[in-house]
Amino acid sequence: MKCPYCGDENTRVIDSRSAEDGDSIRRRRQCDKCGKRFTTYEKIETIPVFVIKKDNTREPYDRAKIEKGIMLSCRKRPVKIEKITKMIDDIENTILNQDSKEVPSSFIGELIMEHLRNLDQVAYVRFASVYREFQDVDTFMKELQNILTRDKHEKEK
């Protein structure tokens, strides 16, 4: 590490501790040549995840988009915010732990629907109607029928 004062490359760490953000390490260093002290921060380098959209364009992964879609789907529903937050955390962990750093938006959409189906069926149908771009009432009714059939099979087990 170069000294910011004299430019010498011989510096040593005199103190190390976790930074306030908890995601980096704060190091106090001292230059062997001029004796001045300075602070550096060390952070893990992460490779960003990109989302491949339907039109094959790519954009950086954005948790806020998932939060917005799920919150709109759960609006005025009796779902606790803690459950929604945990669900979003689980979805994000699945996305970020993929082997590839490019994830299709369809994978994310299906993942969200799978979690919403288990959380709240009305929120699921709301999200599915936008995500799957229901064009008419028949498509909407088919999705509702699928939910009813799935519930019936689960109760029989």
Residue 36 sits in the same domain as residue 109: no
Give the tens place of pLDDT for each residue, 47-97.
789 999 999 999 999 999 999 999 999 999 999 999 999 999 999 989 988
Domain membership of residue 112 (yes or no) is: yes
1 occurs within a structural domain: no
Same domain, 21 and 57: no
Query: Do 76 and 139 belong to one domain?
Result: yes
Residue 6 domain flag: no
- 36: domain range? 11-43
pLDDT digits (tens, 9 = 90+) for 116-157: 989 998 998 889 888 777 777 777 788 778 777 877 777 776
Number of domains in the chain: 2
The closest of 55, 72, 56, 156 to 120, measured between CA atoms, is 72
My answer on whether 57 and 110 are in the same domain is yes
pLDDT at 21: 66
Contact 96, 105 (CB under 8 A): no
Q: Tell me, yes or no, whether 2 lies in a domain.
A: no
* Domain shared by 20 and 55, yes or no: no
Q: Is the pTM of this model over 0.75?
A: no
Please determine, for residue 23, whether its predicted confidence score (pLDDT) is greater than 80: no
> Same domain for 22 and 86?
no
Same domain, 82 and 116: yes
Question: Is residue 87 in some structural domain?
Answer: yes
Domain assignment present for residue 139? The answer is yes
Please tell me whether residues 91 and 111 are part of one structural domain: yes
- Write the CA distances from 129 to 42, 105, 125, 135, integer angstroms: 45, 16, 6, 9
